[in-house]
Chains A and B, each alone.
Chain A
Amino acid sequence: MDLNTVWFILIAALFAGYFFLEGFDYGVGILLPFLGKDEEERGMIIATIGPHWDANEVWLITAGGAMFAAFPSWYATMFSGFYLALLLMLVALILRGIAIEFRNKDIRPKWRSTWDWLIFVGSLVPPLLWGVAMGNLLLGTPINADMTYIGDFWNLLNPYALICGLAFLVIFTLHGAAFLSLKLEEPILDRAFTAARRIWPAALIVGFLAFGVGYFVTDMYERLGVNPGLVPISAGAAMLAAGWFIRKKQGGWAFVMSGICITFSAITFFVGLFPRLMVSNLSPEWSLTIHNASSSPYTLKVMTIITAIFLPLVLLYQGWSYYVFRARVTRESKLEY
């Protein structure tokens, strides 16, 4: 396996990790105004992701950095091409991050409710935009022979990409509800299960729709044939299973299943993309691939060695931090923020 492929897989893994981890952060933020009926409850809901959200977001930063390091032309074309979409996303991330940290720094109710509203908006926008982005990578966008994106913002808001955006949004919200069912107690716990029960059909429908439409609108059908393979099938099966576990009020398994659905869906995108990075709908020769957009073999080698040493370390201490905060958040927990 050449290093270009290794890095394709690594970046796919980083994005899958980002969607899995920030997926429930965004989901929690979206559910905040609905599941938290008073100030104390909303504080508890935020406290479930309080210790984790920042490190979860670093998965995105690392994915972007890895894109830059391993496939600089992909980083350049995508980030300059999806300019306004990324600008919107950055604004959302800035507002959400500040809102989480500042929300309880003042006792006035208007202060806290304003920041909570910004958490909601800042959690809703990124999933939408990431779904749109992933859909467009696979569907194809106007990229010319110089690897320059020559479309505009509205190009990106085509029906398929929008369905993908919606799918990300709904599935992340479900994922957030499952997470909350693991981290909270009554009465929010029950509300989380109710929310999950209500969201699940929508998640199922939009998820299958996104995949189904995508299969024929992109060139997935041409490349994979009738059998899409184990990965998307597992993603679909996991979503079905999630619904069953939600019904049985087994939050842990529901969370695992929504997690599998998200990560396997992300992997599906990348499997469909491989060995391309961005499809050009102007000419297949102008698509970015892992070979024409990559860094030199030397750089890939250096990065591989460094990653092999440090990524396991990151997983270790980030995993440990989840272990430290494994207990459910209660009214008595010290919500030291």
Chain B
Amino acid sequence: MDPVTLARLQFTITCVYHFFFVPLTLGLSILIALMETMYVRTGNELYKRMTKFWGKLFLINFAMGVVTGIVMEFQFGMNWSEYSRFVGDIFGAPLAIEALLAFFLESTFIGLWIFGWDRLSPRMHAATIWMVAIGSNLSALWILVANSFMQEPVGFAIENGRAVMTDFFALLSNPHLWVQFPHVIASGLTTAAFFLLGISAYHLFYKKSHSEIFQRSFKWGAIAGVIGICLVGLGGHSQAQYMVEAQPMKMAAGEALWQTDDPADLSLVTIIDEDQQRNVFDIRIPRALSLLAYNRFDGEVKGIKDIQGEYEVLYGPGNYIPPVTISYWSFRAMVGVGSLMLLLAFYALFLVLTDRLPKAGRFLRWMPYAIALPIIGTSTGWIFTEVARQPWIVFGIMRTEDGVSPNVSVGMLLTSLIVYTLLYGVLIVVDVYLLAKYAKDDAVINEILVDTVA
């Protein structure tokens, strides 16, 4: 029960929880904006009904994203004061810009969207949800500018024991940002796609009413899902290839590769013994890791132990190995879930294009559960990238343990940890209850859609 562990645990819980809601906001805002644009352009009331139905669910989710986000902005100062002091010169700017550019945009225009149906022209009203989509996706950019600095510090110098910004454009052109951002945006789209697929599948399987809406939404979900998961995969692959060079320790941990290898084998299943720094059970595909890393069947991939040696020379004595077991399994889970989503999305699109959807009973029945897949993927992805970054809070510059607030006691930490966990626990139950109700309940849905026809 030391402060560092508690602070890290709290950040993990609050951050992963926040990211339960964000990807859906990112992707669904775009899809709804497209729906409403189709309505404005074609005048087809079907699109208006789709906008209203999915919009209702969007708003429930949006609120959760907003309130859990406030906690994040405050948490850097509250729990990581020494980190904030040390890198605030660089890290604070993207956060402030995120608020000024993105949060104001999405928050102002969501209000206009919710309440402005009768006060704005159809085109203006559609424009408001586009502003929300742009605002939220833009906020992702700026927080990733900040996170990318943590992963790969650029555009800075150390002055008077503090990191200071020397080149703002270096921050914006950080290569890590540009392998990370497309991946995150694509994951948002994929999350929204599976949301559409899962809920539409439920209706197509169990209910007869409003089939037009759900047929169309399923199709949109399938197309968005295929596009999304392909971009996620491509983005993720390019990111991983980049990180083999830029963050070799992270990739080695993700593969549980203790020893440098050439050619390197890709792990399928590995049981790790972290204390002994070896693997007790290891099934690998020969040469496949080199293939993934370098597009060739050979090529050296550095192992954990060798990188540790290099870092001791570079940074002095110390342990530079991140938690390997967590890194490995979160990476596996993310890729595993992503692969499953790839199959499901393509199959869904296949069913749509070949008109086989009405007969795909079993697929429709199980598809609602697939809504959880992107959530598992994004959560484990973030856990991987942040855990495998340890022991650094800013790579090569500051260790995580040096960033905590010195004046926040274990008692205070336990208080906030318990408070957040309980509060969030209650809220997720309420959130899921409402989402399920508005997704499934006939009376509720009819009310939303009857309003639309009027």
Give the interface of A toward B (CB within 8 A): 47, 50-55, 57-58, 61-62, 64-70, 72-73, 75-81, 83-84, 86-87, 90-91, 93-95, 97-98, 101-102, 105-106, 147-150, 295-296, 298-299, 302-303, 306-307, 310-311, 314, 317-318, 321, 324-325, 334, 336-337
Contacts and interface: CB of A to CB of B under 8 A. Distances in A.
Interface of B: 59-60, 62-64, 66-68, 70-71, 73-74, 76-79, 81-82, 84-85, 87-93, 95-101, 103-105, 107-112, 114-120, 159, 164-166, 168, 405-408, 412, 415-416, 419, 423, 427, 430, 434, 437-438
A149 B68 CA distance: 26
Contacts of A302: 93, 165, 168
B108 A325 contact: no
8 contacts: A50-B115, A90-B70, A98-B64, A105-B437, A148-B406, A298-B165, A321-B109, A324-B120
Contact of A72 (B63, B92, B107, B430): B92
**Which of B63, B73, B74 has the most chain A CB atoms closer than 10 A to its own CB?**
B74
For the residues of B in contact with A, the DSSP-based class is helix
Contact of A68 (B77, B116, B406): B77
* Closest 10 pairs (CB-CB, A-B): A72-B88, A79-B77, A68-B92, A65-B96, A51-B111, A69-B92, A80-B81, A101-B63, A80-B405, A76-B81
Nearest to A151: B407
A122 to B, nearest CB: 10
Contacts of B64: 98
A93 B111 contact: no
A119 to B, nearest CB: 13
A58 B103 contact: yes
B450 to A, nearest CB: 14
A148 B405 CA distance: 9
A65 B142 CA distance: 12
Given A61-B70, A75-B92, A102-B434, A296 B159 contact: yes
Given A65-B95, A76-B82, A83 B408 contact: yes
A81 B78 CA distance: 7
A72 B408 contact: no
B416 A87 contact: yes
Contacts of A54: 66, 107-108, 110-111
A91 B104 contact: no
Given A69-B93, A73-B88, A302-B168, A318 B419 contact: no
A333 to B, nearest CB: 9
Contact of A76 (B85, B103, B118, B416): B85
A70 B71 CA distance: 20
A55 B82 contact: no
Nearest to B427: A98
A324 B119 contact: yes
A6 B79 CA distance: 28
**Which of A50, A67, A80 has the most chain B CB atoms closer than 10 A to its own CB?**
A80
Given A62-B104, A299-B89, A76 B407 contact: no
Given A50-B114, A64-B74, A80-B81, A102 B63 contact: yes
B92 A65 contact: yes
Given A55-B108, A68-B88, A295-B92, 14 more contacts: A53-B111, A55-B104, A57-B70, A62-B100, A65-B92, A69-B95, A72-B85, A76-B85, A79-B81, A94-B70, A97-B66, A298-B166, A318-B104, A321-B108
